[in-house]
Amino acid sequence: MARGHLREKTVQGKALEWLENNYRNGGDFVDSKSKLEARVRKDKKLGSNGRADGLIVLKRKDGSLHTISLEAKSSRLLATLTGHYLDEKWLLHACLVGLLFSLILVLVGWNSWAWIWLIVGSVLTFFVTGFIFLLITQEHRWYRGVDVIAQVKRYPANEQWIVLSTDVYNQLKTKRQDEQDKLIQACRENGIGLLTVSAGNKIKLMIQPKTKKVPKGYRDFLVCYHAEKALRHQLENTLVTPQFAD
């Protein structure tokens, strides 16, 4: 391990501890339980098969639960933080646009154009409009993906976090040009929080996540995890101590 580079396990543990302490100290919760490596259940539609690097479940005074999931990355997994083109989706949409304009041309010229000109015109329209679409949208966010964003979205929770070692976060800026900005933009667009952990164990909050509501028909997001039974049992045994003024 190069000097200044953190192991992923270290990033996981420090971030999980920091998040749990900060939420507990905020005063909105009476208890919390956390778990490293929390597997998602396959039989729940909210998530998909996978394993969150960390899971925090916080209990409010009214007994309701607030769930937080996180995904940690170190320099070893730098490639999962950089953007890539969603070529299949991009080309499919270009073909659909080309077909749409070709169809419009055929409908407009059906009664006035010779069939040979309709064929030639529709083919040219298909390629020209499709090509123009590709030029206009080549850098659009709809056709740019980031693996870590898709990964953390598979771990259902009220709040979702990505945690990076500071060294890998800095590499996104120095070695990958604008990849750091693209990751930040993707986190904001998807409501995902972002933390960095330095070699000195200093935590820096980069982006605050957006809180997601539990969909109808679900008690809470904890039901999506295999650890539900054990964590819920521990939290249900929490005694809420009345708070008295000094």
Which tens digits make up the pLDDT trace of 84-127?
Answer: 555 676 677 778 888 888 888 888 878 777 778 778 888 888 88
- Spatial neighbors of 11 by CB under 8 A, at least 6 apart, are 72, 73, 74, 163, 164, 165, 197
- Residues 6+ positions from 65 with CB-CB distance below 8 Å: 57, 58, 59, 220, 221, 222, 232, 235
The pLDDT value given to residue 56:
93
Q: Which helix (H) or strand (E) holds 84?
A: strand 83-85
User: The whole model's pTM is what?
Assistant: 0.69
Helix (H, G, I), strand (E, B) or coil at 178: coil
**Alpha-carbon gap, residue 132 to 138, rounded angstroms:** 10
At 161, the amino acid letter reads W
With 60 as the cut, is the pLDDT of residue 243 above it?
no
Q: State how beta strands 65-73 and 50-60 pair.
A: antiparallel
Instruction: Report d(CA 60, CA 136) in Å as an integer.
Output: 48
Specify the DSSP class assigned to residue 153: T
Q: Is the pLDDT of residue 46 over 80?
A: no
Letter string b/e over residues 79-93, b meaning 16 or more CB atoms within 10 A of that residue's CB: eebbbeeeeeebeeb
110-124, 157-171, 220-234: which has the minimum mean pLDDT?
Answer: 110-124
Q: Which residues pair with 58 in a beta bridge?
A: 32, 66
Tell me, what's the pLDDT at 168? 78
In this predicted structure, the answer to whether residue 133 has a pLDDT above a threshold of 70 is yes
At residue 46's C-alpha, the angle toward residues 192 and 93, to 5°, is 75
pLDDT-wise least confident of 60-74, 103-117, 183-197: 103-117
pLDDT of 134 strictly over 80 = no
136-145, 150-159, 185-194, range with the lowest pLDDT: 136-145
Which SS3 state, helix, strand or coil, does residue 245 take? coil
210 Cβ neighbours under 8 A, 6+ residues apart: 159, 191
Distance, in Å, from the CA atom of 25 to the CA atom of 16, rounded to the nearest integer, reads: 14
